[in-house]
Amino acid sequence: MQGWWRRDPFFVRYMVREATAVAVLVYAVVLTVGAVRLAQGEAAWNGWLAALRSPGSVLLHVVLLVAMVVHAKSWFEIMPKTMPMIVIGGRRLSATTITRSGWAAAVIASIALFAWAAWWRA
């Protein structure tokens, strides 16, 4: 049954979605290595920063970035199915509204984080 998922584009999309979990794990490991290097002192930390600047690392993070966006997309798409039902004014909150609210929250949170990082340069 190896490679069963290659038979149908629907299954391929499913497997790509599942693979984004690996990207989340890889990023957690990248940050953990950063924490270890920071605790080892300035020289170790600067070595880690230099590694982050290498083309291979930047490329890896571009892949991780795309995976994170796909991951967020699938998360907000399944949210209406996993959340308890919300009834407002006698009508069930639609799946589209829930998914769009999720996206809106993610955009606002991302802008806030970026704005904070830009402001923190002082």
Partner 1 sequence: MKRSNAPIFWLLFGAGGMLSALLGAMLVFITGIAVPLGWPLHGELMSYPRMLGFAQHWLGKGFVFVVIMLFAWHAAHRILCSLHDIGIHKGPAAKAACYGAAVVVTAVAGANLFRLGF
| Chain positions contacting partner 1, by CB under 8 A | 1-2, 5, 15, 18, 21-22, 24-25, 27-32, 34-36, 38-39, 42, 45-46, 49, 52-53, 57-58, 60-62, 64-65, 68-69, 71-72, 75-76, 82, 102, 105-106, 109-110, 113-114, 117-118, 120-121
Interior angle at CA 73, CA 98 and CA 19, nearest 5: 140
Euclidean distance between CA atoms 40 and 28, whole angstroms = 19
- Complex with partner 1: residue 95 or 106, whichever CB lies closer: 106
Q: What is the CA radius of gyration of the chain?
A: 19
- Interstrand relation of 91-92 and 87-88 (parallel, antiparallel or unpaired): antiparallel
Find the shortest distance in angstroms from Cβ 7 to partner 1: 13
Find the shortest distance in angstroms from Cβ 10 to partner 1: 13
The answer to whether 37 touches 47, Cβ cutoff 8 Å, is yes
Find the shortest distance in angstroms from Cβ 70 to partner 1: 10
